[in-house]
Amino acid sequence: MGKSFAVYAATAAEKAEWMGHLEKCSRELIKQGVKTPPAEQERAAVWVQDDEAARCMVCKKTQFTIVNRRVRIVGKNIYAYLYVRRLNARS
């Protein structure tokens, strides 16, 4: 499985510039044959910090509180009740 990392910058524009440069370098390495693109199942999940997700990342409605708890699935913050309901629907 791959590894992920976070890029923090002073401004959104600076972060976008860094991300663009990293993507460009990655494409160049793939083009030169130095690196192979990872298969979809090998890509690492992007970890979302709790303070960066005030709402459920699936339904986009439920706000997290002491009562509305979150669970973390593949790096995303998801409303626990919604997750349990989906698990029960599959069985």
Write down the mean pLDDT value for the chain. Answer: 78
pLDDT digits (tens, 9 = 90+) for 27-64: 999 899 988 877 766 667 677 777 788 888 777 787 87
pLDDT digits (tens, 9 = 90+) for 38-48: 776 666 767 77
Phi-psi region of 60 (alpha: psi -120 to 50; beta: other; left: phi over 0): left
Q: In the predicted model, what is the mean pLDDT of residues 73-89?
A: 69
**Model pTM?**
0.45
CA dist 76 and 47 (Å) reads 7
Band of pLDDT at residue 66, cut at 50, 70 and 90: confident
